[in-house]
Every structure is written in structure tokens, then in C-alpha cells.
Chain A
Amino acid sequence: MLLTVVIFLPLAAAGVLLAMPRLSGRAAAAVWLAASSADLALIGWMWWRYDPGSDAAGLVDGIAYEVDVPWIPTVDAGYHVGVDGLSLPLLALTAVLFLACAVWSLREPDRPRTYAALFLFLQTACLGTFAALDLILFFVFFDLTIVGMYFIIAGWGHGNARRSALKFFLYTFVGSLALLVGFIGLFLGSDDRTFDMVTLAKNPPLTESPVAAGLVLLAIGLGLAVKTPLFPFHTWLPDAHTDAPAAGSAILAGVLLKLGTYGFVRIAMPILPDAWRRWAMVAVVVGVVSVLWGAFVALAQTDLKRMIAYTSVNHMGYVLLGLGAAGLVGQADDEARTIATVGALYQMVSHGLLTGALFLLTGWLWSRGRTYAFDRWGGLARPAPVFAAALAVAAFGSLGLPGFSGFVAEFQIFTGALQAAPVATVLAVAGILVTAGLFLLALQRLLTGATVEPATGHGADHAPTRTAPHAVASAATATAARTPPRVRTEDLHGHELLPVAALLALALILGLLPGVLLDVFEPAARMVTQLVAR
């Protein structure tokens, strides 16, 4: 029941917002903030009460806060939700990121009520996907995230937003339909004729027909790979990120990409263990190609936001490397495969926090100068020291500096994968070097040297002419617009600094005290590796 409240509380708040057309922008932001805070508090409570058991680790038993209500009885699909070691940290990550975005968007000038309602709707969809224990329910929420994000990009994006939004919708919708086809295959292949993930994981379908299992895994893998995204299905990602508003990008990278990797751990590995073992090498190879491709293409970007977008491809590649290595049962012992799985899970949370912070920071560039291009900015450390410090910390965290969560994650992935896939692991480590190089290069271009700031004359077209109560940020650009070519760029405001600082602090805590998260992840990861080894 509590979990249902957690999932649908944001949606209810969105309904309230939509039902009150006279609400001021500030009040809408307050409702959003209150709903997201309440949700995070409830998840915090759930975490506190959660006992990561050793013999009942989740996936097939020991699921907390479980609710199972039949929905479509003829195909045995139901509203089955629950929390275990896999989903709890991701639920928490979702709540944290949405709250961060709520704070960041406190002064959103453009249709703030609808904006808040869309984000709240999206939060319900994301939480629902992570909590779902039924394939159809998973699919329902998975698809709704696409719809919500489409409207955020199309409605509040910039540049070529509508085209990017359409591209995002079409690509990920292809993926989701492949997923649906795969789910139907699981249903028809199972002995019990059910869509229930727990039942399917207990009694995996299609064990007697490896070809069919391989095809179903292909469909599911395709759907998840588009969402993750993995090379070569990543091409929607840079456009969608570049044209999305900062908060939208943070959610897209921080939460929505995790839906793909989470699907691999929750669905592909436990329900199709035979097929996953058989094709694990493909996952490893795709992971490593994504790592290298993402890193090198990111290196070539001339635009900070696109660069960060490509590093997401790179980071998600590590996740898949770890998960693939977990499937190489013949080549590695249980312990190594568990470590690889834990690393992959850790990377999901870590990437969510750090990339979320990075994308929020790019929003600062856009709001001040309407561009992300490296050559239009320079020497920002002088006019905006706080921004510079935050960007530097986030970049160092993202490149895997020890002390941050990214290091813990990547270290475990490499340790776990080395035994099973040594060549791939060595290549992936090389990817870290490239990432380190490109982040340092970006910092150097943006923060050091003589101060360069774009003339913000064309920024006025976006600054609204209404007299709403929005305004410190847009007033700044409006002022800047009136006195070209440039004025002193304002540093991070309080409502911008707070979410970024919180995300970075969490990344630091998880880097210094990994036990907080490992205690929850490890039993579940052990269970995943056991299930895969069946």
C-alpha cells in the first residue's frame, strides 16, 4: 500500500495542478516541491524499514511492500509491485533526482504549472517502472515515460526541439514495441502463461527451445538497448539531450536511461538465464564498443551538452560490460560475477547522480548565454567561481576519480569482469583514460584562460515579456540583452546551487562510504548471478 502511495503521489499532485488553471507559477512550483519531497521522505522511510535479507534477497522471494492485484485476468497480467535490493536504490535515485529538478526549476518562467505537472507525471511513470513486478505493468510505465519526456522536450526544449522530440519518441517507441513483442514471447513460452516476473523468474520460460529464447532475448535486448542506449542505437540521445531543458536532460540521463539497464537485470537475466549465458559475450562486446565509441565521439564534440550526452553512452557501456560478464558462467567464479553485477548496479546510481548534476550545470550555460559551444565560453572560473567549482567536482566525479561513487562502480565492474573477459576489460579501462582526457579538456576550455562570454543579444527572444513572478534568472538575461555585447555573467543562484551540491554530496558519500548502498545491492546481485547460473 505504501509503495502504491509512493508511486501515485506525484500523479495525484499533477492532477491537482492540472485541475487548478488559476494557480500561479510560484504556487505550482511549491506543489511540485512538496510532492517530490514527500515522495522522497516516504522512500527514505521505506529504505529505513527495509531489511536486506541474506536468504530472501529479492527477485524471486523476499520482496517487500508487495502488492498483487489482478488486472487482465485472461492473460494473467496484474498490478504487481514490490521493492527489493535491485529496485530500492533506483527508486531512491529517482526521487532524489526529481526533487533536485523541482528545486532547480523553482523559477521556471515558461508555463510553470504544466511543466510541473509533466514532471510529476514522469516521476510516477519512472517509479512505477522500477517497482513493477509484472511485465505488462513494467511496459505500461516504461511507455508512459516516453510520452512524458516527449512533451517536456517538445514543449520546453530549445534549438530544434520538436524534431529531437520526435526522434526520441520514434526511436524509443520502436524499442518499447520490440520489448512488448519480447514480453508476449515470454508469456507464450512460459508454462504458467503469465506475465508475472516473479513467477517467470522462478520457472524460466523457453528453456527447451534455445532458438526461440534467443529471439525473445533479441527482442527484449533490442528494446532495452535503444533505451539504455547502446551502440549502435544511441543516435537519438545526443539530439534529445542537447535540445531538452536542463531538468529534462537530467531526468533523461539520470533516470530514463536506467530503465534500460534495469530491464536487463530485472527481466533479461533472471527470466532468460540460458539465453543470457549463451549470448553474454555479445553483451560484453556491445558494452565495450559503447564505452569506446561513446568516449571517442564525446572527445570530438564542440558542445558541452553533447559531450556529456556521449559520456552517458560510455558510462552505460560499463554497466553492460558488468552484466555481460555476470553471464559468462564458464569463465568466472560466482564471486567475480557477483562483483561485476554489483558494480553495474552501483554504476547506475552513480551515473544518475553525477550526470544529473552535470546536465543541471549545463542549464546554467544556457540560461546565461543561450549556447553550449566550447568556443563561446572561456575563463568562467573568474566570473562564476561557484559554477566552476561545481562543474569541476562533477567532472572529476564522472571521470572516475577515487572518492566518488563512479570510482567504486567502475572499479568493481573491472574487477569482476577481468577474469571472465580480460581483453574487453582492458579495452574498457582504456575508455576511462579517454573520458578523463575529455573532461579535463572541457574544464580547461570552459573555466581557464581569458574570460569569454557569448553576446546574449538573441537571448531576449526567449526571455518572457510577461510580468510573472519568475524572475531572477530571466531578469538577468533580459538585463544582459539590453546592454550588449556582454555583462558580467551571474554565478549559480541558490536554487540552482542547492540541487547540484546535494547530488554531488551524495556522489561523494557513496564514494567514501559505499557500504550504505552495497548492503542493499549485494544480496540482490548475488541472487541475480545465482539465477543466471541456473
Chain B
Amino acid sequence: MNDMTGAGDDALALLPELLLLIGAVGGLLLGLWTPQHRQWRVRVVVLVACVASAVTAAVGLAGEDRRVFEDLWVIDTTTGVVRITVALAVAVAVWLVSASLSGHPRETEAYVLMLLGALGAVALAASADVLLLVAAYLLASVPLYALAGYTKDARATEATLKYYLMGAFAGVLLLVGAAALVLAAGSTGYADLAAALPEAPAPLLAIAVLGVFAGVAFKAGAVPLHFWVPDVTAGTAPAMAAYITTIPKLGAVAAAFRLVDEPFADVPLDVPLLVAVVAALSMTLGNLAAFAQTEVLRLLAYSTVSQVGYLFMVVAVAGRTELAVPALAVYLAGYALTNLGAFAAAAVLGHARSIEEWAAAARRRRALVVGLVVCLLGLVGTPPTAVFVGKLAVFTAAWDGGLAWLVVLAAVNTVASLFYYLRWIAPATVAVPTGSPAADGSGGHEVRTMTTREQALTAPPVTVHALAAASLILGVGSGAWLAVALP
């Protein structure tokens, strides 16, 4: 009986998650005893916890793949990549959000909820059991409902309600899927499922696959469960939208990857085709919807929907090509960086809702425009940014996995996406006199205009530039990142 040492080892294996949890709990406790104007202390605790989590995760990547806690929790490359990316992305998001939240009565609570949501995202990526997946789904969803409505205005309330109802619906579908899996295989562990599912009756399997993927697709914001994305994104502050559209997605895509790779690998249904169709629909519909947008945040929202399409391409070929895991590692990191950067650019001029207003407000800030151009062209996949390397890897992996048609479709969609990103880039870069920006009198600016402190003015622009630079560095240094991720 070596339970004691085994459990100790297991607990230590979850050190990155524990650090996030300690950051959340410690931050909450500290916040209770900290005066309103000194809440930056909480922020420091939270940021330290995130960085420590990322560092321990990077150290953990060097170890070999294993499963802990009776095969509930996988620690492998995918988990490691999501751990690092999520922890660092949350740190950036907290830093970004702090600009609009510093001095806010519920500042601490926001940071704590953000960390808990991040923990949920990591749990999604690491779970190797359907019931744990359900729990992770809830952990990654519930804090976000509260965060989506943080500004407490009409738009935010409506968005939160929509988000919550849709989330509850998808959660029920996920539970139905989980129940169907238990019925079909008599177990919830991925390893048992992988062994038992190939003999299971096809209708039951179909319900299970569709239900589980509905939950994951909701978290990822993929078509057809993407309807919350534009409303939530546009209804909340840009910095918060950056968090909501980035963090859960990382976990959800990794979860989908693991599902296709393990329990659904040999089922008598064409699961890869299903995922490929979801990918095709996400990128195409996301792009088509983005064409008509005039609001900065709604445009970015639909751009994230189309980005999920590219991410799901690699999910579709999970386990069918050895190029899939590196592709996922590069694209997840690149997406997180670039998407946060684009949202940060929106957050710098948070009062500007439409593209014209943003461009007019950015007239005097050439450096900001340069940062925006790098981030948006990065989202298109222009070399040498990180998303370019990600797209290259994803396209290669998808083709190698037998989905050449999807690669062609994705290439066409990339061109289409260029069109609406240029709709933002062109007015921002080219000096063209625009009409006086229409005054937007909605009450949604209370929090955004609460930026009184010096730091509030510097955090978002610094974030834009840092992320734009990081996107280029990760693109050029993708070999080094892969060397870390795939030792």
C-alpha cells in the first residue's frame, strides 16, 4: 500500500492548478481585509499565482505523460500547453482588466472569478473522465456568467441572461451526452469508453457524441452554439470580453481534441467528419457575419468564431497524424496572444464603439495603430506572426489527416477574413477625414470611464504592444516554443 506517497505525488502533479486555486482563495481572503484603494495588492497576488502556475506547468512538461487520481486527470503535452497558455493569458487579462476595474467596489471578486474560470478551462483540457468534464464545464462557465454582467448595465444584463440560458441548455445537452455514454459503456473514464464504445449501439452513440460536443462547442463558441459570443462580447467591457473569448476556448478546444483522440477514436460514427463540418461552418459563418459589422467588438467577436473553426480543424484530425499535437500547441498559444492583443487595442479606446470612432480616436496614436495592425494581420495569419505558424501547422496536419477539402476551404476563408480586418485597418492607418463620431449615450460607460489612475491609462496600450511583439516573437521563435512544449 503506497497510497500515501502516491497521493502526495499526484497532488504535486497538480501544482499548477493548485497555485491557481491558492491565488483565487488567497486573493479573496486578502481582498476582504484590504481597503478599497489598496486592492492592487490582490492583483499582485493573482498575477504572481498565474506566473508561478505557468512556470510549474512548464517544468511539468519535461516529465513523461501520465494520468493521476485514478486516471481522472491527464498530464501530457496538451494539458501542459493549455496550462501555460491559460495561466499567462489570465495574467494578461487581469492586467488588462485592472485598467477599468481599479477602484471598483468589486475589484477583488473579478480577479478571483477570472482565476476560477481559468482553473475550469485547465480542468476541461486535462479531464479524462466524462463526469470530470461536466464539473470542469460548470467551473469554466459559472464564473463567466458573473463576469459577463460585471458592468450591470442594460446591454450586459441582456448578454448575461442570454449567455446563462444558452450555457444551461448546453450543459443539459452535455449531461444527456454523458448519461448516454454511461448507458453505452457502463463507465465514464476515457480509457474504458475507448474500449467499450466501438461495440455500443449507434443511436445511443450518436446522442452521446452530439451531446458531449454540444457542451464543448458552447464553451469554444463554435457554430451552432455561438450565438452568445457577439452579444456577450459587445455587452461587456473590452478587457473582460478579451478574457471571455480567449480563456475558455483554450480549454474547450483541448477537451474536444482529447475526446476525438481517445473515447471517440474508434466509434462506428464519422466523428472527425462531424468536427470538420463544425469547423467549416464556424469559419465560414463567422466570417460571413463579420463582414457586416460596424462595431469593433462585434467584429472581433465574429472573428473569434471563425478562429474556432481553424482550431477545430486540428481537432478533426486528432490522433490521425503526428502533426496534430504540435499544431494545436502552436495555434492555441498564438491565438491566445493575438486575440488578447486585438481586444486590448479595443480596450485602449474603450469608449469608441464603432470602427469609425475608433479610427478617429486613434488618429494621434500611430504607435497604437501599428500594434493593432500587427495583431489584426496576425489574426489573418500573415507571416511571421504566431498565428501564421499555427495556421501552417494546422493546414498541414489537416491535409495529412485526409481533410484536404477543409484546407482549401480554410484558405478561402482566410482570404475572406482579410476583407473585414482590413475594414478596420484601413480607416485606422490611412488618414481620412471622418464625420464627427456620433455620441453614444448608452449607460454602458460607467465602469469604462472610471479610469482615474495613471496606471489605468497605460495598461492597455502597453498590453497591445507587448502582445504584438510577443506574437511576432512567438512566430519567429516557434521552434523554441515547440521545443519547450514537445520535449
Residues of A within 8 A of B (CB): 18, 21, 70-75, 77, 114, 136, 139-141, 143-144, 147, 151, 154-155, 162, 165-166, 169-170, 173-174, 177-178, 180-181, 184-185, 187-188
> In the complex, A162 Cα to B428 Cα: how many Å?
12
> Can you name the residue of chain A whose Cβ is closest to the Cβ of B422?
A166
Q: Which residues of chain A come closer than 8 Å to B392, judged between CB atoms?
A: 72, 75, 77, 136, 180, 184
Which one of B35-43, B199-207, B267-275, B413-421 is at the A interface? Answer: B413-421
- Tell me whether A180 and B411 are in contact in the complex, defined as CB-CB below 8 angstroms, given that A72-B393, A166-B422 are known contacts: yes
Q: Which of B357-396 contact A (CB under 8 A)?
A: 366, 370, 377, 382-384, 388-389, 392-393, 395-396
The 8 A-B residue pairs whose C-beta atoms are closest, nearest first, are A140-B383, A74-B326, A177-B411, A174-B415, A184-B396, A143-B383, A154-B430, A140-B384
Q: Which residues of chain B come closer than 8 Å to A147, judged between CB atoms?
A: 377, 382
B473 CB to closest chain A CB, in angstroms? Answer: 13
B271 CB to closest chain A CB, in angstroms? Answer: 23
- Tell me whether A162 and B430 are in contact in the complex, defined as CB-CB below 8 angstroms, given that A170-B415, A188-B399 are known contacts: yes
> Can you list 13 pairs linking A and B with CB atoms under 8 Å apart?
A21-B366, A71-B479, A72-B393, A74-B326, A75-B393, A114-B366, A139-B383, A147-B382, A169-B418, A181-B395, A181-B407, A184-B399, A188-B400
> In the complex, A346 Cα to B422 Cα: how many Å?
37
> In the complex, A162 Cα to B389 Cα: how many Å?
29
> Can you name the residue of chain B whose Cβ is closest to the Cβ of A77?
B392
Most chain B CB inside 10 Å of its own CB: which residue of A169, A184, A187 = A184
**Cβ of B29 under 8 Å from chain A:** no
Q: Which residues of chain A come closer than 8 Å to B326, judged between CB atoms?
A: 74
B148 CB to closest chain A CB, in angstroms? Answer: 35
Q: B396–A75 contact, CB under 8 A?
A: yes
Q: Which residues of chain A come closer than 8 Å to B225, judged between CB atoms?
A: none
> In the complex, A307 Cα to B110 Cα: how many Å?
63
Query: Which of the residues B388, B407, B418, B483 comes within 8 Å of A184, measured between beta carbons?
Result: B407
> In the complex, A144 Cα to B414 Cα: how many Å?
16
- Tell me whether A73 and B411 are in contact in the complex, defined as CB-CB below 8 angstroms, given that A140-B384, A147-B377, A184-B399 are known contacts: no
> In the complex, A180 Cα to B381 Cα: how many Å?
11
Q: A71–B411 contact, CB under 8 A?
A: no
Residues of B within 8 A of A (CB): 323, 326, 366, 370, 377, 382-384, 388-389, 392-393, 395-396, 399-400, 407-408, 411-412, 414-415, 418-419, 422, 426, 429-430, 432, 476, 478-479, 482-483, 486
B459 CB to closest chain A CB, in angstroms? Answer: 22
Q: A162–B396 contact, CB under 8 A?
A: no
Query: Which of the residues B412, B476, B483 comes within 8 Å of A73, measured between beta carbons?
Result: B483
Query: Which of the residues B396, B412, B478, B483 comes within 8 Å of A187, measured between beta carbons?
Result: B396
Query: Which of the residues A136, A139, A177 comes within 8 Å of B415, measured between beta carbons?
Result: A177
Q: Which residues of chain A come closer than 8 Å to B389, judged between CB atoms?
A: 72
Q: Which residues of chain A come closer than 8 Å to B478, judged between CB atoms?
A: 71-72
- Tell me whether A73 and B383 are in contact in the complex, defined as CB-CB below 8 angstroms, given that A136-B392, A177-B414 are known contacts: no
B381 CB to closest chain A CB, in angstroms? Answer: 9
> In the complex, A462 Cα to B389 Cα: how many Å?
41
Further pairs besides A170-B415, A170-B418: 15, Cβ < 8 Å: A21-B366, A70-B479, A71-B476, A72-B482, A74-B482, A140-B388, A141-B383, A154-B426, A155-B430, A162-B426, A162-B430, A166-B419, A166-B426, A173-B414, A185-B399
> In the complex, A184 Cα to B394 Cα: how many Å?
11
> In the complex, A208 Cα to B265 Cα: how many Å?
31
> In the complex, A155 Cα to B408 Cα: how many Å?
32
> In the complex, A147 Cα to B370 Cα: how many Å?
13
Q: A173–B482 contact, CB under 8 A?
A: no
> Can you name the residue of chain B whose Cβ is closest to the Cβ of A181?
B411
Q: A169–B422 contact, CB under 8 A?
A: yes
- Tell me whether A188 and B396 are in contact in the complex, defined as CB-CB below 8 angstroms, given that A140-B384, A173-B418 are known contacts: yes
Q: Which residues of chain A come closer than 8 Å to B482, judged between CB atoms?
A: 72-74
> In the complex, A248 Cα to B377 Cα: how many Å?
21
> In the complex, A162 Cα to B392 Cα: how many Å?
29
> Can you name the residue of chain A whose Cβ is closest to the Cβ of B418?
A173
> Can you name the residue of chain A whose Cβ is closest to the Cβ of B327?
A74
> In the complex, A461 Cα to B395 Cα: how many Å?
48
Query: Which of the residues A72, A143, A151 comes within 8 Å of B382, measured between beta carbons?
Result: A143
Q: Which residues of chain B come closer than 8 Å to A114, judged between CB atoms?
A: 366
Q: Which residues of chain A come closer than 8 Å to B382, judged between CB atoms?
A: 143-144, 147
Which secondary structure characterizes the binding site on chain A? Answer: helix
Q: Which residues of chain A come closer than 8 Å to B429, judged between CB atoms?
A: 151, 154-155
Q: A72–B411 contact, CB under 8 A?
A: no
A125 CB to closest chain B CB, in angstroms? Answer: 10
Q: Which residues of chain A come closer than 8 Å to B384, judged between CB atoms?
A: 140, 144
A240 CB to closest chain B CB, in angstroms? Answer: 15
A187 CB to closest chain B CB, in angstroms? Answer: 6
> In the complex, A147 Cα to B374 Cα: how many Å?
11
Most chain B CB inside 10 Å of its own CB: which residue of A72, A73, A74 = A74
> In the complex, A147 Cα to B479 Cα: how many Å?
24
> In the complex, A52 Cα to B384 Cα: how many Å?
33
Q: B411–A74 contact, CB under 8 A?
A: no
> Can you name the residue of chain A whose Cβ is closest to the Cβ of B396?
A184
B407 CB to closest chain A CB, in angstroms? Answer: 6
Q: Which residues of chain A come closer than 8 Å to B486, judged between CB atoms?
A: 74
> In the complex, A180 Cα to B412 Cα: how many Å?
12
> Can you name the residue of chain A whose Cβ is closest to the Cβ of B483?
A73
> In the complex, A255 Cα to B476 Cα: how many Å?
25
B373 CB to closest chain A CB, in angstroms? Answer: 8
Q: Which residues of chain B come closer than 8 Å to A136, judged between CB atoms?
A: 392
> In the complex, A432 Cα to B326 Cα: how many Å?
53
> In the complex, A93 Cα to B455 Cα: how many Å?
50
B11 CB to closest chain A CB, in angstroms? Answer: 33
> In the complex, A422 Cα to B138 Cα: how many Å?
74
B218 CB to closest chain A CB, in angstroms? Answer: 30
> In the complex, A174 Cα to B432 Cα: how many Å?
27
> In the complex, A165 Cα to B430 Cα: how many Å?
11
B37 CB to closest chain A CB, in angstroms? Answer: 36
> In the complex, A534 Cα to B89 Cα: how many Å?
52
- Tell me whether A178 and B479 are in contact in the complex, defined as CB-CB below 8 angstroms, given that A136-B392, A140-B384, A154-B426 are known contacts: no
B73 CB to closest chain A CB, in angstroms? Answer: 26
Most chain A CB inside 10 Å of its own CB: which residue of B377, B432, B476, B479 = B479
Q: Which residues of chain B come closer than 8 Å to A73, judged between CB atoms?
A: 479, 482-483
Q: Which residues of chain A come closer than 8 Å to B399, judged between CB atoms?
A: 184-185, 188
> In the complex, A173 Cα to B383 Cα: how many Å?
12
> In the complex, A423 Cα to B236 Cα: how many Å?
68
> In the complex, A141 Cα to B384 Cα: how many Å?
9
> In the complex, A155 Cα to B400 Cα: how many Å?
41
> In the complex, A263 Cα to B168 Cα: how many Å?
54
Q: Which residues of chain A come closer than 8 Å to B408, judged between CB atoms?
A: 181
Query: Which of the residues B323, B415, B418 comes within 8 Å of A74, measured between beta carbons?
Result: B323
> In the complex, A147 Cα to B476 Cα: how many Å?
18
B283 CB to closest chain A CB, in angstroms? Answer: 13
Q: Which residues of chain A come closer than 8 Å to B415, judged between CB atoms?
A: 170, 173-174, 177
> In the complex, A75 Cα to B321 Cα: how many Å?
12
> In the complex, A154 Cα to B427 Cα: how many Å?
10
Q: A170–B419 contact, CB under 8 A?
A: yes
> Can you name the residue of chain B whose Cβ is closest to the Cβ of A139?
B383
Most chain B CB inside 10 Å of its own CB: which residue of A21, A140, A155, A178 = A140
> In the complex, A21 Cα to B393 Cα: how many Å?
38
> Can you name the residue of chain B whose Cβ is closest to the Cβ of A136?
B392
Most chain A CB inside 10 Å of its own CB: which residue of B323, B383, B408 = B383
- Tell me whether A180 and B395 are in contact in the complex, defined as CB-CB below 8 angstroms, given that A71-B478, A71-B479, A74-B486 are known contacts: yes
> Can you name the residue of chain A whose Cβ is closest to the Cβ of B325?
A74
> In the complex, A162 Cα to B478 Cα: how many Å?
34
- Tell me whether A74 and B393 are in contact in the complex, defined as CB-CB below 8 angstroms, given that A143-B382, A184-B399, A185-B399 are known contacts: yes
B333 CB to closest chain A CB, in angstroms? Answer: 13
Q: Which residues of chain B come closer than 8 Å to A173, judged between CB atoms?
A: 414-415, 418
A155 CB to closest chain B CB, in angstroms? Answer: 6
> Can you name the residue of chain A whose Cβ is closest to the Cβ of B407?
A181
B74 CB to closest chain A CB, in angstroms? Answer: 21
